[in-house]
Amino acid sequence: MRAHSVDKWLPRLIIILIAIFLLGPIVATFIYSISTVWVKTILPSGLTFKWYGVLTADPDFIPSTLRSLILAVAVVLITMLVFLPVIFYANVYNPKLKEKLRYLSILPYSIPGIVLVTGLVQLYGSLPVPKLLILILTISAICLPAFYQSLNNAFMGDDFQGMFEQAQLLGDSKLGAFVRVVLPNIRAGLMVGLLLTFTTAFTEYVITNIFLTGQYETLKIYMYRLMNTNGNAASVLTIIFFIFLGIIAFILIKIVSSQKRSVKE
Amino acid sequence: MVNTDNFLSVSHLNISFNGNTVIKDLSFNIKKGTLTSFLGPSGSGKTTVLRAIAGLNQTFAGQIMLDGQDIANLQPNQRNIGMIFQSYALFPNLTVFDNIAYGLRVQKKSKAEIEKAVTDMLAVIGLTQRRDYYPANLSGGQRQRVAIARSMVLEPKLLLLDEPLSALDAKTRVELRNQIKRYQQELGITMIFVTHDQTEAMAISDDVLIMSAGELEQQGSAMDIYANPKTMFVADFIGNHNVLTATDLSKLGLVANQTDGQYIIRPELLEHVMPANLNGYAAIEGQVVELAVLGNRVEYSLKTATGHIVKAECMNQNINFTINDHIKVYLKVAEIKKVG
């Protein structure tokens, strides 16, 4: 009986401890973002939303947000226009290429950011190509694993070669068959892949900061700079980041669960 | 004017993959309005030829003429050829109606035309009540009927069916096989039906084309190929024939002094009931070593005193022997055929 009781309560206790461990800093950051002063006391001296006003009034806030957006949208476009057709081709027509892609997609995990940046500077630093473009291409490559895996799963369910060829036999062009038949049937995997790509690019810090030596200040770089000058405003930005990622996670969960429902039907 | 005997004319077709020649100098003609089966074992190149005709494999040498037009360099969407895949290849995101309407929408037909054509086709395949269903909610047989309707609604010059029944259960296979034949006859579409099942090919085809290792073994009507196989491969593949040499025939006391070569005896020609007139007949005596009741038919094997195994079959109703019995079977000597 006693053992049964421990079996019941121990997992719950562990989960509660993990939840406190994970949520504690977020709650503390939020409280710090709305506190007037919180130094050497257990609780803040007072509460205020003025730091939200201070952050949004900062002339660097909107430009850095736009820079992050530009970077993320450019990476998403490259992913759609370059990686998507390649992953489709590898999955449907060339399993050997798929194997190579699988290994290639693991590479960004195994190469530390600093090594990647050093290599990039040496290889492309002297080329007459805008560094921002090289940065966008590099981040696109870093986003490949998540995008590749999301799409790979999407291609597993159906006979996409048969469907793609059938659409052409029914009179459609290759592009028409791809847009009208392939894309709607990988919609969920594609959306998940693109959202993961967007968030990875939007929140990227290491490579952007080192490769462009702070000249292209994204929201993440701005956040780290803010930490040294105004802790409360930096907390506000952290909370905004958290809410933004929370919304993306919510959309991802919705997409995945809606796909499951349609399968059950 | 196009000769209807050469509606589809394939000449000297050669196809290689990674240096391996998989189709070797293949030539054949197909008549307009007929159903021709490509029959052969797995790996014989049937599907490869089909894909070349459809334009899905364009790396080949040779000529493909359809209705008097050289189609070798046309894209799949320019050939007006339909194809049914073994996997159905239905579009999971579209309803039955929208799947069938796909090609008509690509052709930018009016809404009214699409509605009429698809509704008519749904009636032909008997799925009017399922028009708003998604493919996931249909049985295998229903899915394949939608796939066939989706191609037929475009009235293609040629409809290619790549093992369309192989994923279905035995009963549905027979039903759908007969339906395909009915559609073909009612709509007059020229069809090529790929299968490795000789019974299926025999049952459905006007013409059968037998392939082995990328080469054409024989082309002709199902009955002609069954009765007069030209090669040992065809004799072996198309039926459960007894294959014997001239020496074997002599030892069994059937006929003497035959020229060298191989001879076939069809199992259903061996009769276990003694004919009223034995003129022109020979008898084979042996012990029943195998006996299989296949519903209305019985297949059995005799082991003769010379050690030969002779396969025979008869209808089930008047069988008067059982396993291990010693019996005699009778054969018209004129029915012994030399191969080739």
* Same-domain status, B156 and B279: no
> How many other CB atoms are found less than 10 A from the CB of residue A196?
19
Residue of B57, B71, B85, B121 to mutate for A, most A C-beta atoms under 10 A: B85
Question: In this structure, what token pair is assigned to residue B242?
Answer: 């007894």
Ranges of residues in chain B whose predicted pLDDT is under 50 = 1
* Same-domain status, B271 and B134: no
Q: A175: nearest CA in chain B?
A: B77
Question: Domain holding B137: CATH number?
Answer: 3.40.50.300
| Predicted local confidence at residue B258, as pLDDT | 67
| Predicted local confidence at residue A263, as pLDDT | 42
Are the Cβ atoms of A181 and B91 closer than 8 angstroms? yes
A58 touches chain B (CB under 8 A): no
* Same-domain status, B71 and B119: yes
Number of CB pairs, chain A paired with chain B, less than 8 A apart:
66
For the stretch B232-285, pLDDT in tens is 889 888 878 888 888 888 888 887 666 778 888 989 899 888 888 888 888 999
Q: A181: nearest CA in chain B?
A: B91
* Same-domain status, B247 and B191: no
Contact A262, A185 (CB under 8 A): no
Residue of B47, B50, B87 to mutate for A, most A C-beta atoms under 10 A: B87
| Predicted local confidence at residue A3, as pLDDT | 60
Contact A88, A178 (CB under 8 A): yes
**ipTM of this model?**
0.82
Q: Which of residues 187-206 of A touch B (CB under 8 A)?
A: 187
**Locate tokens 């009214």: which residue?**
B112
Taking alpha carbons only, the member of B92, B96, B335 closest to residue B228 is B335
- What is the rounded distance in angstroms from the CA atom of residue B315 to the CA atom of residue A153? 54
- What is the rounded distance in angstroms from the CA atom of residue A233 to the CA atom of residue A239? 10
A181 touches chain B (CB under 8 A): yes
Q: A185: nearest CA in chain B?
A: B93
A169 touches chain B (CB under 8 A): yes
Are the Cβ atoms of B76 and A176 closer than 8 angstroms? no
- What is the rounded distance in angstroms from the CA atom of residue A120 to the CA atom of residue A138? 9
Are the Cβ atoms of B106 and A172 closer than 8 angstroms? yes
Which residues in chain A touch residue B90, judged by CB atoms under 8 angstroms apart? 163
- Domains of chain A and CATH, by start: 60-264 (1.10.3720.10)
| Predicted local confidence at residue A116, as pLDDT | 76
| Distance (Å) from the alpha carbon of A165 to chain B's nearest alpha carbon | 7
- What is the rounded distance in angstroms from the CA atom of residue A70 to the CA atom of residue A49? 29
**Locate tokens 């009781």: which residue?**
A5
| Distance (Å) from the alpha carbon of A178 to chain B's nearest alpha carbon | 12
| Distance (Å) from the alpha carbon of B82 to chain A's nearest alpha carbon | 6
Which residues in chain B touch residue A265, judged by CB atoms under 8 angstroms apart? 134, 136-137
- What is the rounded distance in angstroms from the CA atom of residue B53 to the CA atom of residue B65? 9
DSSP string, A5-53: HHHHHHHHHHHHHHHHHHHHHHHHHHHHHTBS--SSSSS-S-B-SHHHH
- What is the rounded distance in angstroms from the CA atom of residue B309 to the CA atom of residue B305? 10
| Distance (Å) from the alpha carbon of A104 to chain B's nearest alpha carbon | 25
Choose the closest CB to A166 out of B89, B92, B137. Answer: B89
> How many other CB atoms are found less than 10 A from the CB of residue A151?
23
Distances (CA, A) of A159 to A155, A162, B310: 8, 5, 46
| Distance (Å) from the alpha carbon of B74 to chain A's nearest alpha carbon | 12
* Same-domain status, B298 and B166: no
H/E stretch holding B69: strand B69-70
* Same-domain status, B215 and B68: yes
Q: Which one of B195, B222, B237 terminates a domain?
A: B237
| Beta pairing, strands B262-265 & B242-245 | antiparallel
A7 touches chain B (CB under 8 A): no
| Predicted local confidence at residue B3, as pLDDT | 65
Q: Which one of B210, B237, B264 terminates a domain?
A: B237
A172 touches chain B (CB under 8 A): yes
Q: Which residues contact B322 (CB under 8 A, 6 or more apart)?
A: B288, B291
- What is the rounded distance in angstroms from the CA atom of residue A246 to the CA atom of residue B112? 48
A173 touches chain B (CB under 8 A): yes
| Beta pairing, strands B215-220 & B35-39 | unpaired
Are the Cβ atoms of B93 and A167 closer than 8 angstroms? no
Q: A264: nearest CA in chain B?
A: B136
| Predicted local confidence at residue B261, as pLDDT | 82
Question: Domain holding B255: CATH number?
Answer: 2.40.50.140
Which residues in chain B touch residue A173, judged by CB atoms under 8 angstroms apart? 77
Q: Calculate ∠ Cα A165-A166-A169, nearest 5°.
A: 90
pLDDT averaged per 10 residues in sequence order, chain A, 265 residues: 74 93 89 80 78 82 89 92 92 86 80 77 80 88 87 86 94 94 91 89 86 82 84 84 84 72 41
Are the Cβ atoms of B85 and A159 closer than 8 angstroms? yes
Q: What is the total residue count of chain A?
A: 265
Residue of B66, B83, B93, B134 to mutate for A, most A C-beta atoms under 10 A: B93
**Locate tokens 């549905």: which residue?**
B172
DSSP string, A139-206: HHHHHHHHHHHHHHHHHHSS-HHHHHHHHHHTT--HHHHIIIIIHHHTHHHHHHHHHHHHHHHHT--H
Q: Which residues of B touch A (CB under 8 A)?
A: 54, 56, 75-77, 81-83, 85, 87-93, 102-103, 106-107, 134, 136-137, 150-151, 154
* Same-domain status, B329 and B204: no
| Predicted local confidence at residue B256, as pLDDT | 61
* Same-domain status, B71 and B197: yes
- What is the rounded distance in angstroms from the CA atom of residue B281 to the CA atom of residue B126? 51
* Same-domain status, B15 and B136: yes
* Same-domain status, B208 and B76: yes
Domain count of the fold of chain B: 2
Which residues in chain B touch residue A163, judged by CB atoms under 8 angstroms apart? 89-91
* Same-domain status, B147 and B62: yes
Beta bridge partners of B207: B36
Q: Which one of B190, B221, B237 terminates a domain?
A: B237
Alpha helices in chain B (DSSP H): 46-54, 96-106, 111-125, 140-152, 170-187, 198-204, 222-227, 232-238, 246-251
Determine the structural domain holding residue B214 and report its residue range.
Answer: 4-237
* Same-domain status, B185 and B272: no
